[in-house]
Structure 1
Amino acid sequence: MKYYSHRGLYNPQQNILENSKEAFQCAVDENVGIELDVRLTRDKEVIVVHDASLKRIYGLDKSVEALSYNELNDLTKDTLRIMKFEEFLEFINGRVSLIVECKHCFDNTALCLKVAHLLDNYKGEFCVESFHPLIVRWFKKNRPHFKRGQLVMTKDRYDNGFLWFFGGSGITHWLTKPDFYAFHYRVGSRKLSHWYYRYLSRHCDIVLWTMKKNSPHHFDADAIIYETF
């Protein structure tokens, strides 16, 4: 069983924020892997940030992809500075394993290319994943040696019908041929869906996310993404 910290080992009570250098260092100190999210800025820099908007973390009603990296830096320099993915890789330097989630954006091909080029020369253990099946497909075609995964959550959590129908339903499995499925811990709570996803992932590893101390789960996992254990 492998364990990955969700956006680093963050703890707001200790002022250690998600996707911060401090949270990543805590994960390294505990020798657990790191799950992180990457996005593109307007000028196509790859950055480490989860949300599409700055609202939740920074209180700013601005879209990440509408801003250049320098503009993001100016807006966030007094709170939590957003790291470039390249900077993150240099900081971790192979010390723990990584799960890199590629967030779909205005130019998925550019995101995949830039992420792939940065990971080509990275010496540590890593895999890539996405909710968007065409991103998973891109890595199958262009970096078949990269371990790749399809993210899946329960249908009610999707706000994008395309991602549910083509990604969450598993209908594109034959196109993407993921090495693993990353299931939200509630996936498979009903008998039929449990059977279906177990059959779908029968030749794949299973990752469960985001587990907390008493989270129920319905599959035996090869890896767990967790927080606040």
Structure 2
Amino acid sequence: MSEVKVYAHRGASKHALENTWDAFQKACELEVGIELDVQITKDGVVVVFHDDNLKRLAGEKRKIEEIDYQYLKEIKIGKRWKRRFSDLEIPLAYEVFQWAKEKNIPLNVEMKNSFAAHPNGPKILAAMLDGLDDFHISSFSPQLLKEMKQLMPTKEMALILKKSVPLETLRRMDWVDSIHLHRKLYSLSFLEALHEMKKTIRVYGLIGSEGAMKRIAPELKGIITDHPERITKKLRLTYDR
């Protein structure tokens, strides 16, 4: 089997509502890693939630960084047109981290923008992750990753790219250990250049039908996907040839 690790994007979000216990339990059943998003409330509680505000999943135009957890914990989230997704709670990050540790599930912990708004956000998250082994931290923000690297110098920091960035810019970010590429940026030449910088490389957004799945580049170490079952099957077929 390949050394490429598969991470279920926001948990197994094709089977259950994203970033919820149901999605994480299903990802565990599929025996894959989990990519999840963390936000921090105004009073410093870290929760698992993707959006900066509650509009899409709770119908409220409020930012998580502007409300206390006491209010947030009463919020029910779901897709109202799908009854099976209704009345779900926003998970506490600490509880998910401890569960993943007990289950030996690799985590890709994506920090969202609310951590930049909280004066102690990175410190709170670093303390919460202390003692967890198989995880890396990802973000679109180089600055957040730099702060986390200072707090956790031995842990892997991954910069998420959805558009091309000059190689020299990436080379200067010596606190960035890994690059997470959108599938549209995937090319063997780019992977080789990043590999020369000694960056760990993962790709997100693959669904399993791309040409990249027919020949897995040796530099590729991880795939973050909404279709973990399909990707896992494709990897088995590729490496069994």
TM-score, length of structure 1 as denominator length: 0.81
Cα distance, 1:200 vs structure 2 = 4.2
The Cα of 1:80 is off from its aligned counterpart by 2.2
Q: Which runs of 5+ in 1 are unaligned?
A: 156-167
Q: Offset of 1:81 from its aligned partner? A: 0.7
Partner of 2:83: none
Question: For the residues of structure 2 that align with 1:135 and 1:201, how far apart are their CA atoms?
Answer: 23
Rounded to whole Å, the distance in 1 between the matches of 2:21 and 2:117 is 27
Q: Any idea what the Cα deviations from partners look like across 1:166-221, whole Å, max 9, x if unmatched?
A: xx5562542443221001111156xxxx7567424531111001222324659832
The range that moved more, 169-178 or 44-53, is 169-178
Is contact 1:54-1:60 (8 Å) kept?
A: yes
Post-superposition shift, 1:35?
0.5
Query: Is 1:136 matched up with 2:145?
Result: yes
Aligned pair 1:116/2:126, yes or no?
A: yes
Indicate if the aligned counterparts of 2:191 and 2:201 stay in contact, CA closer than 8 A.
no
Q: 1:89 aligns with which of 97, 121, 127?
A: 97
Of residues 134-143 and 197-206 in structure 1, the stretch that sits farther from structure 2 once superposed is 197-206
Is the Cα–Cα contact under 8 Å of residues 181 and 205 in structure 1 kept in the other structure? Answer: yes
1:223 and 2:222 matched: yes
Q: Percent identity?
A: 26
Distance (whole Å) between structure 2 residues aligned to residue 36 and residue 137 of structure 1? 20
Give the alignment's TM-score, normalised by structure 2.
0.77
Aligned twin of 1:127: 136
In structure 1, the residue matched to 2:157 is 148
Aligned pairs for 1:203-214 (under 5 A) are 203-214=198-209
Q: Which has the higher contact order (CA 8 A, sep 6+)?
A: 2
What does residue range 1-229 of structure 1 map to in structure 2 within 5 Å?
Answer: 1-11=4-14, 16-76=16-76, 79-95=87-103, 96-105=105-114, 106-107=116-117, 110-122=120-132, 124-154=133-163, 168-169=165-166, 171=169, 173-188=171-186, 195=189, 198-202=192-196, 203-215=198-210, 220=217, 221-228=220-227, 229=230
2:185 partner SS:
coil
Structure 1 CA distance, aligned partners of 2:60 and 2:212? 35
Segments of structure 2 that go 5 or more residues without pairing to the other structure are 78-85, 231-241
Q: CA deviation at 1:109?
A: 5.4
Check conservation: 1:153, 1:184, Cα contact below 8 A.
yes
CA contact (8 A) 1:212 1:226 kept: yes
- Is the 1:33–1:97 Cα contact (8 Å) retained in structure 2? yes
Instruction: Work out whether residues 107 and 136 of structure 2, in 8 Å CA contact, stay in contact via their aligned partners in 1.
Output: yes
* Structure 1 residues 99 and 70: CA distance shift in structure 2, 3 A: same
Q: CA RMSD in A?
A: 2.4
How far apart are the structure 2 equivalents of 1:69 and 1:174?
Answer: 38
Q: Deviations over 1:23-44 (max 9, x none)?
A: 1011111110000111111111
Quick one: which amino acid aligns to residue 89 of structure 1?
A: F
Contact 1:211 1:226 in 2 (8 A): yes
